[in-house]
Structure 1
Amino acid sequence: MDVTELPKLYTIFNGCALVHILLGLTMIKLGHKKPHIVSMIIALLFSTAFLGCYLYYHYHAGHVKFAGTGLTRPIYFTILFTHIPLAILSLPMIIMTVVPALRSRFDKHKRVAKWTVPVWLYVSVTGIIVYLMCYVWYGPPIRG
């Protein structure tokens, strides 16, 4: 696999994580704890695979510039500039949600998850949008 194919792969991982976050959320709302746990572990694994591929890609490909023009540029950068800080924030939030669950502190897990889930969902959805805008809809990004 060539490094230029990694954005497609890590976006697929991101989409799979998104599906499992939603599935896990649905399962816990229905009172199905074991399927919730399984879905959230799978979401964590896909998110970890995403992060590994994302970091590897940008280490090797360097900085890429958005190729879109006109009105698409402020739309893209608005999405990107909300996505980036929330993506950075999501990692410690996810850890702060998982650790209490591992320690059977479900009261704390639930309190923190109320904040983590919307951020994680937003980051997943906007990550897919950023990929589509940068790599699909407006042609390949400019490397440099």
Structure 2
Amino acid sequence: MDVSILPSVNATLNGIAGVFLLLGFYFIRKKEIQKHRVMMITAFSISVLFLVSYLTYHFNTELVTKFQGEGFIRIVYFTILISHSILAAFVPFLAIITLFRGLKMDVEKHRKIARWTFPMWLYVSVTGVVVYLMLYQM
């Protein structure tokens, strides 16, 4: 199985998930709950596709792409990568809890956890694209 295209696919999925997260935020601010719900379910679904693609890539390749940058950009890269990786470990669990609380219309609990989940999830989506660009396009 040729998985060489998957890093690009993964970055694209991360970027698209980020767009839907922002749209979901926009619609909830306008109190358009149904549109918010559709955007967040879409963001979650795209994030699940990302996770499947990411795991497929890493279980089917022994290739390790090393960052080639030197100096200050290397510090920037690893700072972003480490923060991205740590938060990415929590986001799936938080996203599931947040999604289910929203679907159950447990609004108070949904809002409480969404205040943490949304910025973390958006950060992970955006920095996923940044890490890809720094690793494969620099």
TM-score range normalised by the length of the shorter chain: over 0.9
Hey, what's the Cα distance between the residues in 2 that align with 1:102 and 1:35? 13
Which residue number corresponds to residue 128 of structure 2? Answer: 127
Deviation at 1:107, TM superposition (A): 1.1
Pairs within 5 Å for 1:25-40 = 25-40=25-40
Hey, what's the Cα distance between the residues in 1 that align with 2:72 and 2:2? 32
Which residue number corresponds to residue 117 of structure 1? Answer: 118
Return 5+ residue gaps in structure 2 as ranges. none
Sequence identity percentage: 44
Question: Is the partner of 1:89 in helix, strand or coil?
Answer: helix
Across the aligned residues of Structure 1 and Structure 2, the Cα RMSD in angstroms comes to 1.3
Return 5+ residue gaps in structure 1 as ranges. 138-144
Which residue number corresponds to residue 80 of structure 1? Answer: 81
Pairs within 5 Å for 1:6-17 = 6-17=6-17
Which residue number corresponds to residue 140 of structure 1? Answer: none
Map Cα deviations across residues 42-93 of structure 1 (whole Å, 9 max, x no partner).
Answer: 1011101111111111112233321222222111101101110100011111
Which residue number corresponds to residue 103 of structure 1? Answer: 104
Which residue number corresponds to residue 67 of structure 2? Answer: 66
Opposite residue 39 of structure 1, the aligned amino acid is M
Hey, what's the Cα distance between the residues in 2 that align with 1:37 and 1:7? 28
Hey, what's the Cα distance between the residues in 2 that align with 1:30 and 1:102? 18
Opposite residue 136 of structure 2, the aligned amino acid is Y
Opposite residue 115 of structure 1, the aligned amino acid is W
Hey, what's the Cα distance between the residues in 2 that align with 1:106 and 1:124? 25
**Aligned positions, number:** 137
Residue pair 2:41, 2:99 contacting (<8 A) in 1 also? no
Opposite residue 6 of structure 2, the aligned amino acid is L
Q: Which stretch has the larger CA shift, 100-109 or 78-87?
A: 100-109
Deviation at 1:125, TM superposition (A): 0.9
Deviation at 1:10, TM superposition (A): 1.1
Hey, what's the Cα distance between the residues in 1 that align with 2:87 and 2:60? 24
